[in-house]
Structure 1
Amino acid sequence: AFPSNPIKHLHNSDIKSSKLISSNRIGSSDAARLRLHCSSQQHGADELQTHRRSGNYSPSRWDFDYIQSLHSDYKEERHRRRASELVMQVKKLIEKETDPTRQLELMDDLQRLGLGDHFQDEFKEILISVYLDNKYYKSNVDNMKKAERDLYSTALAFRLLRQHGFHVAPEVLGCFKNDEGDFEPSLVHDTRGLLQLYEASFLLTQGENTLELAREFASRILQEKLLNDEIDDINLSTWILNSLDIPIHWRIERVNTSVWIEAYKRRADMNPTVLDLAILDTNIVQAQYQEELKQNLQWWRNSGIVEKLPFVRNRLVESYFWSVGIVQPRQHGIGRMALGKSIALITTINDVYDVYGTLEELEQFTDVIRRWDISSIDKLPSYMQLCFLALHNFVNDTAYDVLKEQGFNIIPYLRKSWMDLVEAYLVEAKWYHSGYKPNLEEYLENSWISDSGPAVLAQAFFGVTHSLTEEAVHSLYGHHDLIRSSSMILRLADDLGTSSEWAM
């Protein structure tokens, strides 16, 4: 299932609804939506007589009415106009700056402050210039050593270039190594350079030993400096501490924006225009996120899932938070909201398989999803009918939005995502009910799918891709190594953080 460990301790809100399945979406096709009008009394009686497990999930800490009451003036157009004016002023700052290192520093600051999407054209121009002027496209070690480079600017350029897709050979950093293959001891005095070297080391690819050595060297020296209280600059020491905890390359940009704003305020070289834009932009984006969350919460309440399926985790807010981390650009609001709904449904259906459903019910439910046939839901217990119709309506709504904008029917692909997911859930349910303990190879072969990575990535792909092609979609569903490896990392990270009572 989608990583549960970060949200297990969070609590659910009591959401009640008189409706089982409904939609507050404007423009959704009525023909594509189905409602559950009644359920079999026999099913209800059978469910009462069946022994059910419980996940003992806590209720949500998020109050529906409170979140719906949130209001922000930053939704108003006047703030957007002011932000546009500040963006133009910052663009002029970028144009006036001629020093390459200072250009990269400004670019790095703007990215950390959550402003990068306003200046993509300017960033591209800076990076191309740095890339060509410094011959970073070369991989000849001798050429690298001939150039006079300082660690700070070189490591900063290396990180930003790789982050934006430029091919930069690791030998660029290898020029700071001695004849024995170790990094020069004299580098220990360049604290800022060591920090950039450490951050750059996380953009390595397989087999790049220079970057592995760089991480080991830089992290050891930086930890010693912190331990010995050798750093006078509070901003620098805080940055190092945060970096050693989680490097910038692994962080969710928007979640950390407020932290960087506070740090930027304290800097002697702080630019007031950049600071004003960062604060204003953060408030505008937060207002947008609040509105998206409100709509998702209303959809969740209307679905009736929390009221009718009290055994499942009520994790809509946490699911939306996950979607913000995966789909960060502000312009992808519809895709972000759909992804948040998808994750909430994944959590719900995972609880059906892991906690509540009997093996016979789970086999029937899997068969219904496999068939994707509404007429076959009568054989399901009422709670599963609700789950299937909620899922069916969600898939149709998502596909409707994509078809309306792009003329591309994604229903068959979304169906496959969900079918693959529940098939993997069923395998694990059979293991549990039979008492079978798979070996590591068997477990990993199934669990990289059951962790929901492929399903989540597919949903995100359809939410942010504006020029869908059959070739691209087929590649996505061919489970390219990129998808498989990402999902495997997700699974292993989730398992490492899972409490002992969840272990098989």
Structure 2
Amino acid sequence: MESEVQRPLADFPVNIWEDILTWFSNSDLASDTLKEKHSILKETVKESFMASRANPIENIKFIDTLCRLGVSYHFEKDITHQLEKSFDSLDFNQKIRQDGCNFYTVGIVFQVFRQFGFKLSADVFNKFKDEDGKFKAHLVADARGTLSLYEAAQWSTPGEDTLDEALAFSNAHLEEISSRSSPHLAIRVKNALKHPFHKGISRIETRQFISYYEAEEKCDSTLLEFAKIDFVANGVPP
């Protein structure tokens, strides 16, 4: 009989679920209040998503946030339609390859396209390489950008050398980056190294990101509240 494979346990706090019910009052949880609020907030978030289409890059960043908060499934048809338009746009493809589109942003754009089945070429990262074809050393000064590159590289397919190089480069520096980052960002870096977002347990990844997003300076309070209600609506472990 083959021995059972021992898989490492997720290294998350034991109280990961304990504070969820403190988000809302018992009366809210026992009534239709949350359902009604969820419906209203969903429409508000959709309006924000549709408005973000005026700037395709910001639109994709918005999609990334929706995915990480676990609510993108509500808008999947609209998301796919918008990504198709951007993917086929010559102007958009030129823009993400120009110097004005930074390290962090290109990583997110790449991740989102790959996540939704669009095989954006890894050549979008070429502008971040030096004359020897290596990723520029100064890039590690951008902690969020290096993390974004690491997560983008998780979408590599066989033969994509640039993404293999991106993974090696980012992986080699993220541990050190986490040690000099703010506690807020350091936690996310460490979690990503242990459990890359799209390879982790989606429910846990969502819960982790809700806490992370809540502490962000640019947190959208409406989107955050919608994500919390949606999380609870989908069931809390007993």
The 5-angstrom pairing of residues 266-285 of structure 1 reads: 266-285=215-234
Q: 1:193-208 alignment to 2 at 5 Å?
A: 193-208=145-160
**In 1, Cα distance between equivalents of 2:32 and 2:110:** 39
Match of 2:21 in 1: none
- In 2: Cα distance, 1:145 partner to 1:99 partner: 12
Distance 2:3 2:113 in 1: 32
> Is the CA contact 2:70–2:227 (under 8 Å) kept in the aligned structure 1?
yes
- 2:75 paired with 1:119: yes
Query: CA separation of 1:99/1:82 partners in 2, compared to 1, >3 Å: closer, same or farther?
Result: same
2:59 to 103, 117, 121: 103
- Partner SS for 2:169: helix
- Give the conservation status (yes or no) of the 8 Å contact 2:147–2:174: yes
Q: Is the 8 A contact 2:56 2:92 kept in 1?
A: no
Corresponding residue of 2:18: none
Q: Would you say 1:5 and 2:6 are equivalent positions? A: yes
**Cα offset, 1:118, TM superposition:** 0.8
1:279 Cα deviation after fit:
1.2
2:85 corresponds to which residue?
129
SS in 2 for 1:175: helix
Find the aligned partners of 2:80 and 2:188 in 1 and give their Cα distance: 26
| Pairwise CA RMSD | 3.0
* 1:7 CA drift (Å): 10
- Which amino acid is the alignment partner of residue 57 of structure 2? T
Alpha-carbon distance in 1 for matches of 2:7, 2:228: 28
Pairs aligned (count)? 219
Structure-1 residue corresponding to 2:134: 182
Alpha-carbon offset, residue 161 of structure 1 = 0.1
Deviation, 1:132, is 2.8
Unaligned runs of 5+ in 1: 9-70, 138-142, 291-504
Q: Could you tell me whether the CA contact under 8 Å between 1:136 and 1:172 is conserved in 2?
A: no
Output the amino acid matched with 2:112. L
Contact kept in structure 2, 1:136 and 1:168, CA below 8 Å: no
TM-score, with normalisation over the residues of structure 1?
0.40
**TM-score after normalising by structure 2:** 0.80
2:186 equivalent in structure 1? 237
Deviations 1:127-163 (A, max 9, x none): 22332335687xxxxx899733321111111111011
User: Is the Cα–Cα contact under 8 Å of residues 159 and 199 in structure 1 kept in the other structure?
Assistant: yes
1:437-456 → structure 2 map (5 Å cutoff)? none
| Larger CA Rg, structure 1 vs 2 | 1
Alignment CA distance shift 1:197-1:89 (3 Å): same
Q: Over residues 213-257 of structure 1, what are the superposed CA-to-partner deviations in whole Å (9 max), with x where a residue is unaligned?
A: 101111222222224x2x23x332221111111111211211222
Q: Which residues of 2 match residues 28-427 of structure 1 at below 5 A?
A: 74=29, 77-97=32-52, 98-133=54-89, 147-148=98-99, 149-227=101-179, 229=180, 231-232=181-182, 234-286=183-235
Q: Retained in 2: the 8 A contact 1:114–1:278?
A: yes
Give the Cα separation in 1 of the matches to 2:91 and 2:158.
23
- Cα deviation, residue 76, structure 1: 5.5
SS class of match (2:88): helix
